[in-house]
A = this chain, B = another copy of it.
Amino acid sequence: MDAPDPFESSPDETRTEMMKATYDALQKHGYSDLTIQRIGDEFPKSKSLIYQHYDGKDELLVAFLEFLLERFKADVPTDGFDDAREQLRMIVEYSLGSFDSNHTDFLGALTALRGQAPYDDAFRTQFADTDDFFREHLADIVRDGIESGVFRPVDPERTAAFVVATINGAQMQRVTTGNDEPVRAARDELSEYIRTQLVVEEEP
């Protein structure tokens, strides 16, 4: 058996490098000026590898969207919370709290790809799946909270849909206006809504 070539990276590593190159090219040029050529310029290996993996820009970008959305799902805080109230609080804080520039860049990339979804079935399907995932995750938290007695007996699906819409809108506003203040105001009111509408009043 041949020893593996230490300089040959795994298919997964090559894929990750292509995704990184696409991300870097997007940050540098924006979505409308994104070309395979420019993605290739950010790719450390031979550009021809990109064409071996993807039929063209459209197919590469669908894979890129899938990659970003997998990252998004993996980043949703899921474990290690005392109770549903704390878990929901952390999700709001993580989604609408202070961002570093990496987080802003990431949401900017997702927003750019969202902008294609009205005209692209494959993008629409992926965003529908991701929004469903996030909403179902929140609905599960609300159901847990109701069962364990920390939340009132609200409609979990409706509450989750509302929270997801608010988070999606505020995040989009942040990266498309550069204006943080309305995002903070929306977050404060969302926290107040959770405190007064969802959380069972504690004994005085």
Contacts and interface: CB of A to CB of B under 8 A. Distances in A.
A149 to B, nearest CB: 21
Contact of A120 (B30, B162, B196): B30
A88 B112 CA distance: 31
A169 to B, nearest CB: 3
B177 A124 contact: yes
Contacts of A34: 32
Interface string A144-177: 0000000000010111011011111111110111
Contacts of A107: 118
A165 B92 CA distance: 14
Contact of A162 (B118, B171, B189): B189
B175 A164 contact: no
Task: State the oligomeric state as a number of copies.
Answer: 2
A88 to B, nearest CB: 15
A27 to B, nearest CB: 8
For A118, A161, A169, the residue with the greatest tally of chain B CB atoms inside 10 Å of its CB is A118
Contacts of A186: 158, 161-162, 164-166
Contacts of A172: 114, 168-169, 172
A116 interface: yes
Interface of A: 26-27, 29-32, 34, 107-109, 111-120, 123-124, 127-128, 131-132, 135, 155, 157-159, 161-162, 164-173, 175-179, 182-183, 185-186, 188-190, 193, 196-197
Return the 6 tightest CB-CB contacts between A and B, nearest first: A115-B115, A169-B169, A30-B119, A108-B118, A168-B169, A161-B185
